[in-house]
Structure 1
Amino acid sequence: MTLPLIHTPYAQVRQALLDHTEIALLDVREEDPFAQAHPLFAANLPLGRIELDAWQRIPRLDTVVVVYDNGEGLAERAVRKLQSLGYQRVSLLAGGLQGWRDAGGELFRDVNVPSKAFGELVEAQRHTPSLPAEEVLALQQQQADVVVLDARRFDEYQTMSIPGAISVPGAELVLRARTLAPDPRTRIIVNCAGRTRSIIGTQSLVNAGLPNPVSALRNGTIGWTLAGQALDHGADRRAGEVTPAQRAQAAQDARAVAQRAGVRHASLADLERFAAERGRTTYRFDVRSPEEFAAGHLPGFRSAPGGQLVQETDVSAPVRGARIVLVDDDGARAHMTASWLTQMGWEVWVLDGVDRSAFTDTGPAPATLPRPSRPVDWIAPATLAEQLANEAPGQTAVINLTTSANHVKRHIPGAWFVLRTDLERALSTIPSAKRYVLTCGSSLLAQYAVEEVAQATGARVLVLEGGNQAWADAGLPTAEGEQRLASPRTDRYRRPYEGTDNPREAMQGYLDWEFGLVAQLARDGTHGFQVL
């Protein structure tokens, strides 16, 4: 039975945000259009990825879910798809994005905006110390007693970094700073690519009472670049081991900060109680490094390194008003992460009293996925390669449903890049074939597109076993470059602070935008942030 489409007005969504009742406001467009304009607490869940991501990101099927687009015709399809997955309280945002705007709702651009806006509010209220790039470089050239700590993910750090900087992702700072700067006279500089993680990282050390002078690198690697100073590439410096005394001190300092912020503590029995509680979503995150998580973690917990969790709350926890439970094995990282999330308006608990022997699960956390809507016919990489080599042109069309960046990096020769969100339109531009072979990185997403391609083409549809990775592992030829793009590359918003070839105007424009976020927060009025 087809359920009726319900339209939820702007005022009702806003009231839920003000009341801190659970709601997931979903923008089902691709990331680039999402980044151009969206409400503060909207989470991006593209239509084409709903089967892969919905159950994990919105684990409770009776969550209030409000879906919108900007008139592209995606939202209604997303509602139907969510309903088919069992979601019971799904509606359309009345008027879509334009309806939000017309009702007086504030719109934000870029991604991870709640976290970035919060970071700007922290700096405005706490006057987080910072130094300009020129001054930091001068300190280095003078061989001053200074250490630069990069608070981003390690892969971001490797792409570009401040010369001499050490990779210490955000939640690791309080745990490891005393090891890297044991002399309290050593000046610590914390940087990221732009502003947010350097502000939060610096203020973390200040809040934890580190005796060293601490400053953020003002405007991060963007500020460094705009100052005409050279960056390193491919650096691999990481923090060393922490002594038991330093670990204990970090845990004590972090716990004190968490207590001031109002963080609560949970036991394993509380976890069972949370799981049985109806009407509440509980996210469980392990905030240690991905390597530690893979080596052993608590069952039911997902990997979310603390610094990135604070940076990307909209990605990890799209249900605003949900409960968050954090765990580590040292007492520092979970408490510091929890202190920030609590200030951002979340109900946060840290799991206490868990022995390391309980970290029994290894590898990635398993994902529960829905069954494809029709049976899948698989084709082995070697079989596909033989067909492509021996049959006449136009018999087989290979459709690559991976990300555009991955397609450009490596794809099966002759494959067409298609966004699943754009599938029907893209197929109309591709020459017709007798059969279609769908693939992506692993073919996990590709299997869900079989029915849509079959209905649109009337042809036989197969899925490549193991996807593009299996093709490459078999030693079969690959191509690279922006070839056969049947869909626009809108799945990825080009961040002005990533990479090394962004125009200076874009970098400066990004900084100007960040400076204006505090005023936008005030106009929006739904954030609920309380800076410690």
Structure 2
Amino acid sequence: MPANTPAPSLPATACERVREALLARREIALVDVREEEPFARGHPLFAANLPFGRIELDAWTRIPRLDTDIVVYDDGEGLAEAAARRLQALGYTNVSLLAGGLQGWRAAGGELFIDVNVPSKSFGELVESVRHTPSLPAQEVQALLAGGADVVVLDVRRFDEYRTMSIPGAISVPGAELVLRARALAPDPATRIVVNCAGRTRSIIGTQSLVNAGLPNPVAALRNGTIGWLLAGQALDHGAGRRAGPVDAAQRAEAAARAREVAGRAGVRLASAADLQRFLAEAGRTTYRFDVRTPEEFEAGHLTGFRSAPGGQLVQETDHGAPVRGARIVLVDDDGVRARMTGSWLAQMGWETWVLQADSAQFVERGPVPARTPQPEGPLAWVTPARLADWLQGAAGETAVLDFSPSARYVAGHIQGAWFVLRSQLAQALQVIPMARRYVLACGDSTLARHAARDVAALRPDAEVLVLEGGNAAWAAAGLPLESGETRLASPRIDRYRRPYEGTQASPAAMQAYLDWEFGLVAQLARDGTHGFRVI
């Protein structure tokens, strides 16, 4: 196409057609390209957040099939069309814009949900409403612990979340590990098991997992999790490190039998290696492959083509792990428990779910799986950390450093004098940053910075644009000066929604408002009507 020829207009997809696809369980990816904070202020139930600035880094992993039906929207920020063009440049062939954007969805009568990971959170509330999942208030659990009752508290969040804050005496047992490890932690059937997370969803799902699996112990969720604990005026631990120990062969066999029964009732199917190859060769279908063991186990050895997605987190974050609604999901473990229990929940959430029969001897790949990302277009100019350090000692206004790291990482530590910039807000950020003769771009390892270089060059055509070799990691490794805090924010910190259940800084009013919102999700699901959930 000649340089001056305008790009063909993008097709528009009516909101009703999106709803029809969701109801029919046809594959579709409804993609919100805003940053996470505005996304969390309102979006359709099955929208997946893929921020404009990270499309090259995340798209191929999260939407693996290039002919996926992708519908892109924003809320009038002007990001949707540019994001759609970027997806087309990455090879996606079926990209359209949501007619009217978010306002069009609202005008068509579509329900808007706030917060993040909403499909999982609303499903958890539905499970509790249907199954009457047992729970205990924080004051009662505190009294049990203080009185020396025969009780164990199992924290089903990620270990790093548990380390941040936990119920005194609680043991870290991330969600998918519960049915595998609970009997080892509470071998006496009289021992009461209390399951907690930060809020409600994971504790409901974890508790109901043990109930569904027929564990003989009395089981209850800590009502409202650590939020409920704090609202009751009770103190949390910080920096705890208690983790579940090994499981013996008899306990493993018992857990596997329980998990098989639950998965069968939920409709989870078993896949052979030949089935998996058939799935992967099937045109027009997306097959996600997840290893639901712990990250440490995954890095020690895993199957080629599988991504690490610890089961409890996968159930909590289906919108992130599998943004193509209607896709097929294949899970694997090495014990016959974790994949089946994880699969039992995904199947109830409307996913076609399979568990791969695999021999652990086949887990030969080691280490983390590198992300699939495209090479940036055009040549790049590079600068070493040492040379950049020399430039920063020079005349003011000569060199500006633009840091494209996540804002939390920028605040934790960045190159002295660097500006925090969101790629989605680049034009606005460059109006804030004083003009410079050269711009040096960085982030953790400079992967995102490489893709932003062309954008900066287009907006500052008379300046030199370079990428820092090795990124901030190389700068820090060289012992060069870092600073922390919100020292130079050229963009607002909207890249991450600040969850009311993280840490202890949210106000009691914010925590209570969050709980009140969760209580209303079942009614909102009914009004939306697209969820396709069922509860066994």
* TM-score, scaled relative to structure 2: 0.98
Residue deviations 1:127-167 (CA, integer Å, cap 9, x gap) = 00000000000001110000000000000000000000000
Query: C-alpha separation between the residues in 2 aligned to 1:315 and 1:376?
Result: 31
1:233 matches 2:238: yes
Report the AA paired with residue 403 of structure 1. P
- For residue 4 of structure 1, report the CA deviation from its aligned partner: 2.5
- For residue 22 of structure 1, report the CA deviation from its aligned partner: 0.2
Number of aligned residue pairs: give it.
530
2:443 is matched with which residue? 440
1:269 matches 2:274: yes
Q: 2:43 aligns with which of 38, 41, 46?
A: 38
2:180 is matched with which residue? 175
Query: C-alpha separation between the residues in 1 aligned to 2:485 and 2:369?
Result: 33
1:388 is matched with which residue? 392
2:4 is matched with which residue? none
Contact 1:374 1:450 in 2 (8 A): no
Query: C-alpha separation between the residues in 1 aligned to 2:385 and 2:346?
Result: 46
Query: C-alpha separation between the residues in 2 aligned to 1:361 and 1:435?
Result: 42
- For residue 512 of structure 1, report the CA deviation from its aligned partner: 0.1
Describe the SS at the equivalent of 1:188.
strand
Stretches of structure 1 lacking an aligned partner (at least 5 in a row): none
2:228 is matched with which residue? 223
Query: C-alpha separation between the residues in 2 aligned to 1:46 and 1:143?
Result: 49
1:138 is matched with which residue? 143
The percent identity for this pair of structures is 73
Report the AA paired with residue 362 of structure 2. A
2:110 is matched with which residue? 105
Report the AA paired with residue 63 of structure 1. T
- For residue 366 of structure 1, report the CA deviation from its aligned partner: 2.5
Residue deviations 1:110-135 (CA, integer Å, cap 9, x gap) = 00000000000000000000000000
Residue deviations 1:421-464 (CA, integer Å, cap 9, x gap) = 11111112211111110000110100001111011011111101
Q: 1:122 aligns with which of 124, 127, 131?
A: 127
Deviating runs (4+, > 2 A) in structure 1?
A: 1-4
Stretches of structure 2 lacking an aligned partner (at least 5 in a row): 2-6
1:481 is matched with which residue? 485
Query: C-alpha separation between the residues in 2 aligned to 1:14 and 1:33?
Result: 22
1:494 matches 2:490: no
2:22 is matched with which residue? 17
Query: C-alpha separation between the residues in 2 aligned to 1:243 and 1:229?
Result: 36
Describe the SS at the equivalent of 1:117.
helix
Query: C-alpha separation between the residues in 2 aligned to 1:374 and 1:247?
Result: 54
Report the AA paired with residue 425 of structure 1. Q
Contact 1:325 1:348 in 2 (8 A): yes
Q: 1:209 aligns with which of 202, 214, 217?
A: 214
1:524 matches 2:518: no
Report the AA paired with residue 491 of structure 2. S
Query: C-alpha separation between the residues in 1 aligned to 2:380 and 2:195?
Result: 50
Aligned CA RMSD, in angstroms, stands at 0.6
Query: C-alpha separation between the residues in 2 aligned to 1:387 and 1:484?
Result: 19
Residue deviations 1:8-55 (CA, integer Å, cap 9, x gap) = 111000000000000000000000000000000000000000000000
Query: C-alpha separation between the residues in 1 aligned to 2:227 and 2:120?
Result: 18
Q: 2:248 aligns with which of 243, 264, 273?
A: 243
Query: C-alpha separation between the residues in 2 aligned to 1:208 and 1:169?
Result: 17
Residue deviations 1:307-341 (CA, integer Å, cap 9, x gap) = 00000000000000000000000000000000000
1:57-206 correspondence to structure 2 within 5 Å:
57-206=62-211
1:418 is matched with which residue? 421
Query: C-alpha separation between the residues in 1 aligned to 2:361 and 2:158?
Result: 27
2:364 is matched with which residue? 360
1:403 matches 2:406: yes
Query: C-alpha separation between the residues in 2 aligned to 1:502 and 1:372?
Result: 40
Q: 2:434 aligns with which of 407, 431, 452?
A: 431
Residue deviations 1:390-410 (CA, integer Å, cap 9, x gap) = x21110100000011111110
Query: C-alpha separation between the residues in 2 aligned to 1:475 and 1:366?
Result: 27
1:292-307 correspondence to structure 2 within 5 Å:
292-307=297-312
Query: C-alpha separation between the residues in 2 aligned to 1:508 and 1:155?
Result: 24
- For residue 367 of structure 1, report the CA deviation from its aligned partner: 2.1
Residue deviations 1:454-505 (CA, integer Å, cap 9, x gap) = 1101111110111111111111110001111000000010000001111000
Report the AA paired with residue 232 of structure 1. D
